[in-house]
Structure 1
Amino acid sequence: MKLQPKYADVVLNLLVAVAISLVVNFSYVLLLLVDLNSESSQPSSPQRARIRTEKGVLCVHPDGYGYLVCETGDSVYVPNQRINRLRLKAGDRIEAEVTPPRRSGGHPMMQKIRCRNGQAFDYSLLFNRPSRGTELALQLLYYLVVSFVMLSILTSVRRNYSMKRYLRRCLWCCVAAVGLYCVAPVTGWHSGRILPNFMSGHPFDSMLLLKSSFAVAVSVLYGRIYVLISQRQAVVVENERLKNENLTTRYNLLVGQINPHFFFNSLNSLAMLVREGQDAKALTYIDQLSYTFRYIIQNGQSTLITLDEELKFVDAYSYLFKIRYADKLFFDIEIDPKYRSWRLPALSLQPLIGNAVKHNAITRSKPFHITIRTDDEWLEVANPKIPKLEPEPSTGIGLENLRNRWQLITGRRIVVIDDGETFRVRMPLQNPEA
């Protein structure tokens, strides 16, 4: 099922927003997985027997983790998650259970706290805090919403685009980012509840500000790239539309040049029958002429038509010439039946027949033959060259129109062979199953 363009934009913005949210919270997710892994790996029985109690002062590293400097001179590793979860601070005097290092050369790790600054540590104060999974889900959802709002504002400018409009949308993004920053979900250090940032008592959270700024910056950058790509695609689509319109216009002009020439000759032939009083032939001629014009009206603008339909048109069209050149003009048609369903541009044979009659002498002593036959996958029209005593002026429009129409419609060229005695035009047929 193909999505409509507006829904496709929404889905694309949503996917990009998910990616931005995951990138912003990557370190948060990674540290949570590490913490869960460390908590889930409980000491084995031999290790449990080696658990000892240590006292020391907590030193916190700028990266968030810390070390408990013991009175014995040893250092005990304290994970970042325990410092944040237990709300420990640098300088706290802590008495805690310590497990031995997992590998040679490593540091022991702090497990359960017994006392903090001389007072028994009460874990029940932390029971009301949300789980780390809940906090992570809220963080992912928040940055997903922030990114999606930013992208929706920015990508809507791709229509009727201008730099001024784009900068205006960027300004709106900044306004929306400030509003979303104020309602960002944060965990209160004292209450343990999740609150909007403006109610936390510490609205200027450096980490929250950094993450929000990163999400906005990536959204603005993506919005700019998206607009440029959309503009480029719009230019390509517009070029294709103009190209198709140009081809259609050129084709219509070519067909328009054929019809007046054919119409003029047909009226002359009909006038000749009327002047001679051949009413029966004139009526039949009108029927054939009607069929011919109906074919032109119905198929003159068509792109391709079957060879069988084109040959039916030739039967009616050739009848008009047979009336004019009684017992002097003959059509030899040799068509392989398997090619009757193959296709060619409509009105391809009309200009070739018209030119053959126009530029050659047709007399009773020298009957004129026009051959229409198939040769493999080619349709060939041939006629002998019998120049008139007074040659008709030739502009070459008919043959040139035929060349252009074949090139425009099929992308292939016709082959014209003139050896001085015979004039041949070979046209490649198109297989309908290809």
Structure 2
Amino acid sequence: MSITSRYNNFISRFSPIRNFVFYLMLTTELLMAIYERSDLPLSTPSYVFRATFLMTMVVILLTEYSAKEWIAIGITAVFTFFCYRVCGNNDLLRVSMFVISCKGVNIKKALNYFFTVSFIGYAAIFVAALTGIYGNISITDYFGRSVGTETRYSFGFGHPNTVHSVLFALSMLVMYLLKDESRKKRKIAGSIILVLNILLFVFTDSKTGFFIIIFMLIGLIPSLLSDDEKPGIYYAIGVAVSGLSVVLSVVAAAVSQYAFENPFSFSAAIDRMLTGRIIAFYGNTPEHKGTISSWTLFGDSNSGETYFDMGWVRLFYWYGIIPGIIVTVILFILLYRMYRQKDYDTFVMLVSMFLYTIVEATFVSSYIGRNFMLMIWGAYIFLACREEKDAGER
């Protein structure tokens, strides 16, 4: 019996402890994400993140992995730790270990828990603002749009766009949890999401959040109309949209200075559509942080201290070009795995996230509790490992 087999036999008796620690860690991450989205004051959460990281490592040590998986885990840990030492941001280390810790977890049960805690937390923020207990129900400010100063509703979430990003995330999660249910249930859920999206848009005027939910619902129409296997052209279009999302973001970072200096150019017109997000890279800081000339191979010690909305640009600027490319390649591999598994609904959700991340950085964040897809990605990664093992045994 190999050392790995002996170790797995030894730790198998501790599965109840493993599950307890996993849910304790997940609960803490969810509560941190909920708290961060509210109007409540937020000091540095680094100590909490260190605690959840330690819990994640306990989960990993109490999880059964093959020898090849341990090697892959070791390589991932060394690489992401190196990235952390270079740029001072431990997000990649924390996120990668969280994804790895999801092996053996009942994903459907965990995601139901994810939804329940998130929904209760976000509902509490909404109700507290609505009743005047805590939080701003609306914000009057200049939001970078041609109308000047305007009043938009935030319902205690700090920004109107944040409210719609929460609806988008919860909508994806609901549709994922129902993807194996009857088409009737999924149609009802989709209709409710559509109505909520329209109603919320009346108050938030968050065009990005509104249109990305519409995009997701349109993408799910073939699944809502038929349970038949979807043709390959649907997946090809999704991959093309995802690739274009990344390319457009890189171009935005490259033309930021030109758009800033040439207000009547085509790129400046696109920038106005994106409410100043492109020229912000060049104009908001003396060092022009976010422009493609400021990107480095592995980030730097100050990169994580600059915030801007465009998510793909944040990925490459915060963590570096090489880690950004690796993350992007992994995501495209996941799209391919979803195509292989004919998991059309999840495929549409990941494509929607690709598109949303052009404009918003909701899912490029230190807060693991924002992104339920991380657990699904973990499930797909280890599904691929099992298929490789089965193929080797045949």
TM-score, length basis structure 1: 0.19
Structure possessing the higher relative contact order (Cα contacts under 8 Å, 6 or more residues apart) = 2
> Which has the larger share of strand?
1
